[in-house]
Amino acid sequence: MEVTKDTMIGDLLKEDFGCAAILMGAGMHCVGCPASQMETIEEACAVHAMDPEQVVSALKEYFAVER
């Protein structure tokens, strides 16, 4: 999966729910919230005061290993 800061959280979870552990490990404990499903990584990071590039990097690593 191509992951960018514009990727929707819901799309990530549909692709592979295992990536929820990456998001939760980064501090996004709201991945199960229905509202988070329609947020981009960048939007979610803004809410949680996180660097979207770090989260994207971790997700890219996850998907590279999983595939």
Q: Give the residue from 11, 9, 2, 13 showing the smallest Cα distance to 44.
A: 9
Other beta carbons within 10 Å of 7: 19
Confirm whether 46 is domain-assigned: yes
Confirm whether 1 is domain-assigned: no
Q: Please, which pLDDT band fits residue 53 given cuts at 50, 70 and 90?
A: very high
Q: What are phi and psi of 8, to 5 degrees?
A: -75, 140
Confirm whether 37 is domain-assigned: yes
Confirm whether 2 is domain-assigned: no
Confirm whether 50 is domain-assigned: yes
Mind listing the pLDDT tens digit for each residue in 26-48? Answer: 888 878 788 888 999 999 999 88
User: Averaged over 15-27, what is the pLDDT?
Assistant: 92
Identify the domain containing residue 53 by its residue range.
Answer: 9-66
Task: Give the total number of structural domains in the chain.
Answer: 1
The per-residue pLDDT for 36 is 82
Confirm whether 4 is domain-assigned: no
